[in-house]
Structure 1
Amino acid sequence: MTGKIPTIEDIDRLHHVLAPSQAAYDLVHTHCVIVADITRRLIHRQNSLFTRRCTLPDDAPERNGEYATRDALMLPTDGVRGGVVPPRYLDVHIATIGALVHDIGVYKLLLEDGSDGRPLVFDGPRYIEHGLIGYNILLDEGYDESVAEFARNHTGVGLTRKQVVDQGLPIPPDDYVPINLEQEVVMVADKYNSKSVPPKFLTAQTYADKAARFGEQNAQRWEDLVGKYGVPDVAALAQEYNMRLV
């Protein structure tokens, strides 16, 4: 570790510095807060399964991912249903920090910032760049590589070098995929909330349909991730944050 791990206050200040308007801050920062909330819920579920792994029955669905049949017995859920026992205990603090910074690069891709009362508009053709832009911003701020990678490695369900080349994406050919469980869970949590205007929550099935538009491999990857981490109660979250659910 060569850089610093930011505090939540540090991250909020950075959002304020980068946001070109209050409307932009409200949209992007709120999305990051929601993703951090979902991240914590998914990790609490994972860590509960890990600490109880020795007492789970051999036929418990959490051992093989058949979570739709029934839920874990007497385990904390934080509104998350399903999931399988992880290989280790996850670091909820670093994942929360990562969730709060994962979309920091989005501020640089606003064509309309909402300061004149009109809706925010993102630069659609360049939007794929936001992860790499955020990664470089975070490194320039002196944050550790382990933090900056949350911005770099969260797009879609893991963007591979082959996909970058085959789709002619405007980023350097490379693998932009999570390299640890904490990055992966933030990537998953991100898919349940959209920065559309107005913002919205997505069900697992809604995102599955979206992923399928980019190929069967993407759809299968999402299905595997849902089985791995379980499903948050997005209907309750949508009500809590006063957003629509699709």
Structure 2
Amino acid sequence: MIPSIEMAQELHRKYAPSQTAYELIHTHCVIIATIGKGLAEQANARYAAARAAGASSASMNAAVPQRELDADLVYLGGLLHDIGTYKILASDGAEGRPLAFDDRYIQHGLAGYELLKAEGVDESVAEFARNHTGVGLTREQVVAERLDLPVDDYLPRSLEQELVMYADNYHSKHQPPIFVSEPTAAKRAAKFGEENLRRWKMLVAKYGVPDLEPLAREYGMEIV
């Protein structure tokens, strides 16, 4: 089953244990969906321009996708990518308590994937939750960093999944929530090694850097 946007919103309401948790996590997902869809539309414009100029898929440069992206699917995937976060709360923020995540945060993508599969959501959509952490987690990273995950690759399996993963780096559920500039995101990627930074730079070249200022103003959040 491919959920509608309305169904995705209902899933947030269903699994949010408190209004505080809903506002933090759902708002983050809406922001990532918005960033991702905007980047998809820009990528599609570059693709259309290249095709109109007679470029073949093989000759397109790194800033032009190899095919047109499904911008609506990117938006849906963005809405659902972090839904597993509701499952790893140490404190849900109800009744004035501080909201806090527990020490299983690395598992939130897998938790979201399992939640969506249990709801009958198609694999192609559920994978937006499973495969969005950082710039993608390889089996080798899971082992080398002793991550609390089943040993496997957690890498995007489509351009749409890759774009949501990339967009997710531009906003944080830090309290208070913040937007993350490209230089700050690059520094974060570099903390996990040269290969991680190389993958980040590839994503920047491929999809470009979103304009965060309008969203930061809309949501009243800082860009760091």
- Provide TM-score, normalisation by structure 2: 0.95
* Equivalent residue number for residue 139 of structure 1: 117
2:79 paired with 1:100: yes
SS of aligned partner of 1:159: coil
* Equivalent residue number for residue 208 of structure 1: 186
SS of aligned partner of 2:28: helix
- Cα deviation digits, residues 136-172 of structure 1 (max 9, x gap): 0000000100010000000010100000011111110
Deviation for aligned residue 1:17: 1.1
Alignment of 1:110-121 (within 5 A): 110-121=89-100
- Cα deviation digits, residues 12-71 of structure 1 (max 9, x gap): 11111111100000000000000010011000001001111045599xxxx645xxxxxx
CA-atom RMSD in angstroms: 1.4
- 2:116, 2:155 → 1: CA distance? 18
2:40 paired with 1:43: yes
Residue identity (%): 55
SS of aligned partner of 1:112: strand
* Equivalent residue number for residue 145 of structure 2: 167
* Equivalent residue number for residue 237 of structure 1: 215
Number of corresponding residues: 220
* Equivalent residue number for residue 189 of structure 1: 167
**Runs of 5+ consecutive residues of structure 2 not aligned to the other structure:** none
SS of aligned partner of 1:244: coil
* Equivalent residue number for residue 26 of structure 1: 23
- Verify the 8 A CA contact 1:35 1:100 in the aligned structure 2: yes
- 1:8, 1:88 → 2: CA distance? 24
- Provide TM-score, normalisation by structure 1: 0.86
* Equivalent residue number for residue 78 of structure 1: none
Q: Find runs of 4+ consecutive structure 1 residues off by over 4 angstroms.
A: 55-58
- Verify the 8 A CA contact 1:49 1:85 in the aligned structure 2: yes
User: Which deviates the most, 9-18 or 145-154?
Assistant: 9-18
- 1:56, 1:199 → 2: CA distance? 42
Higher-helix-fraction structure: 2
User: Which deviates the most, 143-152 or 113-122?
Assistant: 113-122
